[in-house]
Amino acid sequence: MSDHQTPRLPERDRPWMMRTYAGHSTAKASNELYRRNLAKGQTGLSVAFDLPTQTGYDPDDELARGEVGKVGVPVSHRGDMKTLMDGIPLDEMNTSMTINATAAWLLALYIVAAEEQGVSQEQLQGTTQNDIIKEFLARGTYAFPPAASMRLIADMIAYTVEHVPKWNPINICSYHLQEAGATPVQEIAYAMSNAIAVLDAARERVERAHSSEHGTGGNGSRSADAQELMEQVFGRISFFVNAGVRFVEEHAKLRAMSVLWEELGRERYGVQNRRHLRFRYGVQVNSLGLTESQPENNVQRIVLEALAVTLGRDARARAIQLPAWNEALGLPRPWDQQWSLRIQQVLAYETDILEYPDIFEGSIVMDGLVSELLDGARAEIAVVAEHGGAVEAVAYMKGALVDSHRERLRRIEAGEQVVVGQNRYVESEESPLTADAEGGILVVDPAVESQQIEDVRAWRATREQAAVDAALGELAEAAQDEQRNLMATTIAAARAGATTGEWSRTLREVFGSYRAPTGVGEAAAAPADAELSELREEVAALSEKLGRRPKILVGKPGLDGHSNGAEQIAVRARDAGMDVVYEGIRLTPAQIAASALQEGVHVIGLSILSGSHRELIPAVIDALREAGVQAPVVVGGIIPEQDVAPLREAGVAAVYTPKDFDITRIMRDIVELLGADGTDANGAVPVAGSGAAATGAA
Look at residues 425, 460, 482 and tell me which one is the last residue of a structural domain. 425
State which residues form the domain around 189.
128-425
Point out the least confidently predicted range of 73-87, 225-239, 489-503, 595-609.
Answer: 225-239
Please report which confidence band the pLDDT of residue 219 belongs to, taking 50, 70 and 90 as the band edges.
Answer: low
* Number of domain units in the chain: 2
| pLDDT (0 to 100) of residue 212 | 64
pLDDT band, very low/low/confident/very high, at 204 (cuts 50, 70, 90): confident
Per-residue burial over 77-106, b if 16 or more Cβ lie within 10 Å, else e, is bbbbbbbbbeebebeebbbbbbbbbbbbbb
460 is a domain residue: no
- Percent of the chain whose pLDDT exceeds 70: 94
Q: What is the distance between the alpha carbons of residues 631 and 624, in angstroms, rounded to a whole number?
A: 9
Residue-wise pLDDT for 544-563, tens only, equals 999 999 999 999 999 999 99
- The mean pLDDT value for 561-587 works out to 94
For residue 689, pLDDT beyond 50:
no
Active site residue 481: no
Q: Are residues 396 and 539 in the same domain?
A: no
The upper half-sphere exposure of residue 655, i.e. CA atoms within 13 Å in the direction of its Cβ, equals 22
The predicted model gives 504-520 an average pLDDT of 94
149: in domain: yes
pTM more than 0.85:
yes
pLDDT attached to residue 439: 82
Catalytic residue, chosen from 176, 405, 551, 602, is 176
- Residue 478 reports pLDDT greater than 50: yes
Q: How many CB atoms lie within 10 A of CB 476?
A: 14
The string of DSSP letters for 383-427 reads HHHHTTSTTTTHHHHHHHHHHHHHHHHHHHHHTSS--BTTTBS--
Residues 162 and 310 grouped into a single domain: yes
Give pairs for 224-230: CB < 8 Å, separation 24+: 227/270, 229/161, 229/162, 230/202, 230/203, 230/206, 230/269, 230/270, 230/271
> For this structure, is 34 an active site residue?
no
pLDDT over threshold 60, residue 690 = no
Residue 5's pLDDT band (boundaries 50, 70, 90)?
confident
Rounded-to-integer distance, Cα 68 and Cα 89, Å: 27
- Rounded Cα gap, residues 469 and 305, in angstroms: 49
CB atoms within 10 A of CB 577: 18
Task: Beginning with the edge strand found earlier in the chain, give each strand of the sheet holding 125-128 in spatial order.
Answer: 21-22, 45-48, 94-98, 125-128, 167-168
Report pLDDT for 174. 95
139 DSSP assignment = I
User: In a 3-state reduction of DSSP, which class is residue 321?
Assistant: strand
Residue 416 maps to a domain:
yes
The pLDDT-based confidence of 522 (bands split at 50, 70, 90) is confident
pLDDT at 215 (0 to 100): 58
The CA-based diameter of the chain, rounded to the nearest angstrom, is 87
Which whole number is the average pLDDT over 446-466? 97
User: What pLDDT does 407 receive?
Assistant: 94
Q: Is residue 610 part of a domain?
A: yes
The domain boundary, picked from 401, 425, 449, lies at 425
Query: What's residue 214's pLDDT?
Result: 58
Which has more pLDDT, 473 or 519? 473
SS3 readout for 535-604: HHHHHHHHHHHHCCCCEEEEECECCCCCCHHHHHHHHHHHHHCCEEEECCCCECHHHHHHHHHHHCCCEE
Q: What is the pLDDT of residue 211?
A: 66
Amino acid at 79: G
The chain-wide mean pLDDT, for the chain, equals 92
Residues 151 and 165 sit within 8 Å (Cβ to Cβ)? no
How far are the Cα atoms of 39, 80, 458 from residue 500, in angstroms, in the given order?
A: 30, 11, 15
- CATH value at residue 534: 3.40.50.280
Q: Is the pLDDT of residue 286 over 50?
A: yes
Q: What is the pLDDT of residue 63?
A: 94
Which contacts qualify for 531-539: CB closer than 8 Å, 24 or more apart? 531/664, 532/575, 532/576, 532/664, 535/576, 535/664, 535/667, 535/668, 535/671, 536/576, 536/577, 538/668, 538/671, 539/576, 539/577, 539/578, 539/667, 539/671
Identify which of 413, 388, 368 has the alpha carbon closest to the alpha carbon of residue 530.
413
| Count of positions (residues) in the chain | 698
Question: Strand order in 551-555's β-sheet?
Answer: 579-582, 551-555, 603-608, 633-637, 654-656
Pairing mode of beta strands 281-284, 238-241: parallel
| Inter-CA distances, 359 with 16, 156, 259, 311, 365, Å | 17, 38, 18, 8, 12
Name the least confident of 183-187, 191-195, 326-330, 466-470: 326-330
Q: Quick one: 205 and 342 in the same domain? A: yes
Cβ neighbours of residue 466 closer than 8 Å, sequence gap 6 or more: none
Helix (H, G, I), strand (E, B) or coil at 239: strand
Q: Are residues 206 and 332 in the same domain?
A: yes
Q: Which residues contact 531 (CB under 8 A, 6 or more apart)?
A: 664
C-alpha count within 13 angstroms, C-beta hemisphere, residue 24: 20
pLDDT of residue 224: 72
- Let me know if 387 is a catalytic residue: no
pLDDT at 67 over 70: yes
Query: Considering 134, 251, 405, 562, which one is annotated as catalytic?
Result: 562
Active site residue 80: no
The amino acid present at 94, given as its one-letter code, is N
**Domain assignment of residue 252, yes or no:** yes
* Active-site position among 556, 602, 660, 662: 556
pLDDT in tens, 18-37: 999 999 999 999 999 999 99
Is 176 catalytic? The answer is yes
- Is 536 found in the same domain as 387? no
Nearest to 179 by CA among 243, 237, 128, 255: 243
Instruction: Kindly state whether residues 420 and 550 are assigned to the same domain.
Output: no
* SS3 of residue 127 by DSSP: strand
Q: Are 557 and 589 within 8 A, CB to CB?
A: yes
- Per-position DSSP letters for 599-655, written without gaps between them: HT-SEEEEEE-SS-HHHHHHHHHHHHHHHT--B-EEEEES--GGGHHHHHHHT-SEE
Name the active-site residue from 21, 142, 159, 396.
21
Band of the pLDDT at 209, cuts 50, 70, 90? low
Q: Is 175 a catalytic residue?
A: yes
Catalytic residue among 560, 575, 660, 662: 560
Active-site option among 34, 57, 110, 175: 175
Q: 400 pLDDT exceeds 90?
A: yes
pLDDT of residue 228: 86
Mean pLDDT across 44-72: 96
Give the model confidence (pLDDT) of 138-195 as tens digits: 989 999 999 999 999 999 999 999 999 999 999 999 999 999 999 999 999 999 999 9
| Same domain (yes/no): 230, 354 | yes
**Is the pLDDT at 389 greater than 60, yes or no?**
yes
Give CA angle at 469 (465, 474), nearest 5°. 150
